[in-house]
Structure 1
Amino acid sequence: MNTVDVIDAHCHLCTAENPYRYGCEAPVEELIEQMDLASVDVAVVLAVATQSNKKATAQYNDFIARTVEEIPDRLVGFGSVHPADGEKALEELDRVVDLGLKGIKLHPLFQHIHCDSPEMDQIAESAAELDIPLFIHSYFPYMTEEAERLYNLITAHPDTQFILAHTGGHTFLDFYAYVEMRNTGQDNVYFEVSSLSVMFRKSPYTEHIKWLIEQMGADRVIFGSNYPRYELVEALSAFDELGLSFDDSQQILGRTIGELLKL
C-alpha cells in the first residue's frame, strides 16, 4: 500500500525576536530534528499576532516567510494578523499572500477578541476574496459562549475555508453542531486534531473525535501536533491510538491538508 507524505499542520516557531508567547523557545533547527525523529515530511509553521502592532506582526510574518524559503521542501507557512489593527490588518492580509504564505492563523484568546466581532467578519470576508483559509484556535474551555460565536462566524461566511485548531471544540455538542451544519449543505470547515487528542488520550473524548471523523469524513480532518507544546512523536502516538483505518489515517496525516493548500 502506498503511503502519503506526513504533514504536521500545526507547528510554531519561537525566537527572542519573534515570540509566539512569553518564554517560548522553538527554533527551526529543533523542529526539523523532531520531524526527522517522527518521520514527518512537512510541517506547517504558523505565525500568531499576539499584539495589536502592525510592525511586530509584519516582522513575524517576514520571519515565517524567510524560514520557509530557506527550507522549502520541509516547511509551509501561514501568516497572521491582529483583528484589532482594523484596516491595517486587511492590508497585511494582502501582504501575507504576496509573501507566498498559504493562509492566516488567528487566536481569539491570545488576541482578546470575540470570534463574531466586526473585525473578525472583515478578515473572514477578505480571506474568501483572497482564496486563503483561516486557521482559528477553537478550544475555549469553560467559555461555551465563545464556541457559539465561532460557529456564528463560520455560518456567516460560507465562502471562507476555516480550519479549526484543536478539533473545533471540547464537547460532543460542539461536534454535533458542525455535523448538522454540514448536513444543511454548508461545507467549509476542516478539523485539526492537535492537543486534545493528546490531552484526553485514553478517555471517552477520543470516541467523540472518532465519531466526528466518521460523520464529517476523513477528508475534513487534519493532523497536527501544536509543537512546541507537544512533541511530534507524542502527537503521532496519540493519533495512532485512535485506531482509524489505513485509508482514513493516510487521508488525515497528509492528503486533506495537502489538497486544501494545493501542495
Structure 2
Amino acid sequence: MFFVAFCLCCAHTVAAAPVFDVHVHLREGDNAWREYRDRVRDAGLELSGAGVMWFGGPHQARQGAVDEIRAGNDRVIALAAEHPEVVAIATVHPYDGAAALDELARVAAAGVKVLKIHAHTQGFDVSDARVETLVRRAGELGLVVLTDNANILPGDTEKLFNLVVRVPGTRFVLAHIGGLNFRFWNVLSLARTADGFGMDNLYFDISATVLAVADSPIEAEFVWTLRNVGIDHVLLGSDYPQIGLGETVDALERLDLTDEEKAKIRSGNARKLFGR
C-alpha cells in the first residue's frame, strides 16, 4: 500500500482554495495513482501535487523485511521521478536498528522528506528506545515524522506526547489527532506555559476524526481543541481509500471555523511544513 500527501485544488468547496491532503494510501503504484487521480477529478477536485509512500495492509513494513522495505521505498522514489507532482515518502521498521538507520539515510540522500511509521500495524511500542533513536535521526536528516495517533493502542497518545517532548529537534505529524481522544491534546495550552516547552515541532492531521465530529454534539469541543493546539499546526487528511477527500473537505467546511483558519488547514500549513 502506498501513502500519499496530495496538494489539490478544490472546485466544489465554499472557498475553492487549494487542498493539501496529507493522508492517502495507494496500493499498486501507477495503477493506484491513476485511480486516485480519477477519483479526485470525479469529486470535482484538481490535482496539483502529491507525496507518496508505500505503506499499510499486506504490504506493511515488517520487522526484519529489510530488502522488501528498501524495494518499496525505491518504488515510490521511482514514481516521484516519473511524475513531477509526486514527492516520495519512505518507511522503515524502528526495531531493525542499524539497518533502519542506514535505510533512513539512504532515502534522505535520495530526496525523501517524510518518514511514516505506524505502531499499531507495524507492531512496535512508541516508548521503545529504538523508536526514539530512529525519529531523532530523522530530524537530524531533515525528515518530518508522520505517525498514527488514532488512540487504538493503550497509552498511544500519552506515549507520543512524551516522545515529542524528548525529541524537540524532529517535526512530528500525528495522524487523526488522537481520534475521539482528541480532548487530551488540550493539555498543550497548559504545557506551553512552562519555560522552553513550546512543542512547536508538533503538528496534527484531522483525517477521519473530522468526519466523526462535524455536526455532532462534540463539534464545539473539537474546534476548541484545534485552536488550543494551534491552527497553524493543523493539517487536512482524507485517509483514502477508506475515506474520500471530498467528504473530508465537506466536513471541514461544516466546522465553525473562520475562513482564514480553514484556508490554513486546507493547504497553507502543509505547504509550509513540507516545503511545497
Q: Give the TM-score taking structure 2 as reference length.
A: 0.84
Gaps of 5+ in 1: 19-24
Matches within 5 A, 1:17-56: 27-36=32-41, 37-39=43-45, 40-48=47-55, 49-52=60-63, 53-56=65-68
Using the aligned pairs only, state the percent identity: 27
Q: Give secondary structure in 1 for the equivalent of 2:155.
A: helix
Partner of 2:159: 149
Show CA shifts across 1:92-121 (max 9, x none).
111121222221001000011111111111
Gaps of 5+ in 2: 1-14
Distance change >3 Å, CA 92–CA 182, structure 1 → 2: farther
Show CA shifts across 1:96-153 (max 9, x none).
2122222100100001111111111111110121111100101123x44222111111
Partner of 2:219: 206
Aligned pair 1:97/2:108, yes or no? yes
Q: Is the 8 A contact 2:223 2:255 kept in 1?
A: yes
Distance change >3 Å, CA 129–CA 234, structure 1 → 2: same
Distance change >3 Å, CA 175–CA 91, structure 1 → 2: same
CA distance in 2, matches of 1:182, 1:69: 41
Partner of 1:21: none
Matches within 5 A, 1:79-158: 79-141=90-152, 143-158=153-168
Distance change >3 Å, CA 138–CA 229, structure 1 → 2: same
Partner of 1:167: 177
Alpha-carbon offset, residue 201 of structure 1: 3.4
Distance change >3 Å, CA 241–CA 4, structure 1 → 2: closer
Matches within 5 A, 1:182-221: 182-184=192-194, 185-221=198-234
What is the number of residues matched between the two proteins?
253
Alpha-carbon offset, residue 243 of structure 1: 3.2
CA distance in 1, matches of 2:239, 2:44: 14
CA RMSD of aligned residues (A): 2.3
Alpha-carbon offset, residue 169 of structure 1: 4.5
Partner of 1:22: none
Larger strand proportion of the pair: 2
